[in-house]
C-alpha cells in the first residue's frame, strides 16, 4: 500500500493533468452542441460495432444448435410433401373415401465420415437401427441424391455413396420424361452420365434430371442435376449425356434417410411375380 501511495505522489502531476483534461472534455461536450453531437455519434458507432461483433460471436457459437434444429425442421417438412402421401381413396358410385396413407418418411442424420476421391466412396451417418434405419434405404440431401444405406448397427449406418462403381439410379429428363440410368464414371465427383436415352429423343442442354420413383430407394421428382453435354458417337443407338450433379458431396453435413413405408409390401408382391415366371 505504501508503494502505491509513493507511486501516486511521484506522478501526481500527471494524474492531475488527466483528471483536469477529462473534466475539460466533459464541460466542452455538455456546453457545445457540435462537440456533443459528434461525441454521441462516435459513441453510438463504437457501441454498434461492439454489439455486432458480440452478436456474430454468439451466432458462431450457436451455429451447431441452429444447424441441428434446421435439419430436424427440414425432415418434418419433407414428411409433409405432397410426394410423400399415398392416396387410398376408393370411389363407390356416389361415395368416396378421401383418407390417405403416407408413402415416405424421412429420418434426419448427420454425416460422421465421408469420402469423395476414391473409386468406391462411402459415408457414415449417426443414425442406426434404434432410429428405424435399415439396409437399402435411400439417402438424400437438400440438393439431391446421396446414396444407399449398406450396413446398420444400433447407432450408426454406412452408406454407399452415389460416387461408387456399383451405384445406378433410375432418372429421367424433365422436358421429355424419357428415363435411363444415372451412373458415375469414377472421375469428377461433380458429374455423372445418363445412359440409355435413345437417339430419337430431343435432348436440351440445361434440362433438369430427376428421379423416376421406380425404385424403392428414392421418391419421384427429386432433383438430380442438369444436362451440360450431349454426344452421339457414330453407330451408337443411345446418347452419352453428361449431367452436372446438384449434390456437392465434398460439403455434405446433414442428410435425410428415406423410408418407403410400402417397401415390404412391394417386395413381397414382386417376388411372387418372379416366382410365377
Mind listing the domains of the chain with CATH numbers? 2-61 (no CATH), 169-250 (2.40.10.350)
Which has more confidence, 99 or 271?
A: 271
For residue 107, what are the β-bridge partners? 257
For residue 102, what are the β-bridge partners? 85
Question: What is residue 270's three-state secondary structure?
Answer: helix
Across 111-120, 233-242, 268-277, least confident range: 268-277
Q: What is the pLDDT of residue 38?
A: 58
Over residues 206-210, the mean pLDDT reads 95
Which of these, 249, 250, 227, 248, lies nearest to 239 by C-alpha position? 227
Over residues 186-213, the mean pLDDT reads 93
Across 33-47, 157-171, 247-261, least confident range: 33-47
Whether 86 has a pLDDT exceeding 50, the answer reads: no
Which has more confidence, 23 or 210?
A: 210
pTM of the model: 0.65
Whether 92 has a pLDDT exceeding 80, the answer reads: no
Q: What is the pLDDT of residue 191?
A: 96
Contact by Cβ (8 Å): 173, 201: yes
Contact by Cβ (8 Å): 243, 226: yes
With pLDDT > 90 as the criterion, what percentage of the chain qualifies? 47
Which has more confidence, 15 or 176?
A: 176
Q: pLDDT tens digit string along 216-254?
A: 789 999 999 999 999 987 778 899 999 999 999 999 999
End-to-end CA distance of the chain: 102
Q: Per-residue confidence at 97, pLDDT binned at 50, 70, 90? A: very low
In 196-275 the beta strands, taken as DSSP E runs, fall at: 208-211, 223-231, 240-245, 254-260
Q: What is the pLDDT of residue 50?
A: 57
Amino acid at each position: 500500500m505504501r508503494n502505491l501511495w509513493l507511486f501516486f505522489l511521484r506522478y501526481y502531476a500527471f494524474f492531475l493533468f488527466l483528471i483536469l483534461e477529462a473534466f475539460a472534455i466533459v464541460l466542452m461536450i455538455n456546453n457545445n452542441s457540435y462537440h456533443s453531437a459528434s461525441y454521441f455519434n462516435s459513441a453510438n458507432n463504437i457501441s454498434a460495432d461492439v454489439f455486432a461483433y458480440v452478436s456474430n460471436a454468439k451466432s458462431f457459437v450457436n451455429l451447431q444448435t441452429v444447424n441441428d434444429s434446421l435439419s430436424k425442421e427440414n425432415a418434418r417438412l419433407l414428411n409433409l410433401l405432397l410426394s410423400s402421401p399415398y392416396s387410398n381413396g376408393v370411389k363407390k358410385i356416389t361415395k368416396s373415401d378421401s383418407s390417405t396413407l403416407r408413402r415416405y418418411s424421412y429420418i434426419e442424420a448427420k454425416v460422421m465420415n465421408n469420402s469423395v476421391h476414391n473409386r468406391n466412396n462411402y459415408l457414415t451417418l449417426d443414425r442406426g437401427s434404434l432410429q428405424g434405419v435399415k439396409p437399402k434405404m435411400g439417402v438424400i440431401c437438400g440438393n439431391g441424391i446421396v446414396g444407399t444405406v449398406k450396413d446398420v448397427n444400433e447407432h450408426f449406418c454406412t452408406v454407399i455413396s452415389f460416387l461408387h462403381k456399383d451405384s445406378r439410379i433410375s432418372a429421367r429428363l424433365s422436358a421429355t420424361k424419357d428415363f435411363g440410368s444415372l451412373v458415375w464414371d469414377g472421375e469428377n465427383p461433380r458429374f455423372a452420365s445418363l445412359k440409355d436415352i435413345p437417339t430419337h429423343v430431343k435432348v436440351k442442354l440445361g434440362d433438369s434430371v430427376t428421379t423416376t420413383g421406380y425404385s424403392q430407394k428414392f421418391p419421384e421428382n427429386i432433383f438430380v442435376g442438369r444436362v451440360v453435354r450431349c454426344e452421339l458417337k457414330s453407330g451408337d443407338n443411345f446418347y452419352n449425356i453428361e449431367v452436372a450433379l446438384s449434390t456437392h458431396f465434398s460439403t455434405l453435413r446433414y442428410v435425410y434417410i428415406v423410408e418407403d413405408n410400402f417397401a415390404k409390401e412391394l417386395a413381397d408382391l414382386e417376388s411372387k411375380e418372379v416366382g410365377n415366371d
